[in-house]
């Protein structure tokens, strides 16, 4: 595989971002952001292009739900996975914002890898 897909990982918990990056770095290029505004700026300024976004729903500055909506408005085909540990209500918001997949925290890394393979391969 010549091209490594680039994944933007967004969570205000640094351990979550670091953990996901370490699990995914072997197969993907990953970049981390710790709030919604930072993620939006990275997405807009990335000249090589982000291929997929994994975002928490509860974030400082701009919520994950708002981030998903903003990106889908200009890039409707961008795959975005939402992560939540807050039950049904955030899942409904993520679906309404057009997240492609909602992962309940904690989730198995194999579940994430299978979803990434489905959306990126």
> What number of CA atoms fall less than 13 Å from residue 80's CA on the CB side?
28
Regions of the chain short of the pLDDT cut 70: 1-2, 86-91, 93-94
In angstroms, the CA 103 to CA 88 distance is 11
User: CA separation (Å) from 69 to 1, 18, 57?
Assistant: 31, 25, 12
d(Cα 87, Cα 77) in Å, to the nearest integer? 26
CA distances from 26 to 65, 67, 108 (A): 28, 27, 17
Burial (Cβ within 10 Å: 0-12, 13-18, ≥19) of residue 97: buried
Query: In terms of CATH, what superfamily is 6-120?
Result: Response regulator (3.40.50.2300)
What are 55-83's pLDDT values in tens digits? 999 899 999 999 999 999 999 999 999 99
């Amino acid at each position: 595989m010549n091209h490594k897909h680039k994944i933007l990982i967004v969570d205000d918990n640094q351990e979550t971002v670091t953990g996901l990056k370490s699990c995914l770095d072997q197969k993907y290029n990953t970049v981390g952001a710790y709030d919604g505004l930072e993620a939006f700026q990275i997405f807009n300024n990335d000249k090589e292009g982000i291929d997929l976004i994994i975002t928490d729903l509860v974030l400082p500055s701009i919520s994950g739900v708002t981030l998903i909506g903003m990106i889908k408005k200009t890039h409707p085909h961008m795959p975005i996975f939402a992560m939540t540990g807050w039950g049904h209500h955030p899942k409904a918001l993520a679906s309404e914002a057009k997240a492609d997949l909602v992962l309940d925290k904690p989730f198995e890394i194999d579940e994430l890898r299978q979803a990434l393979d489905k959306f990126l391969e």
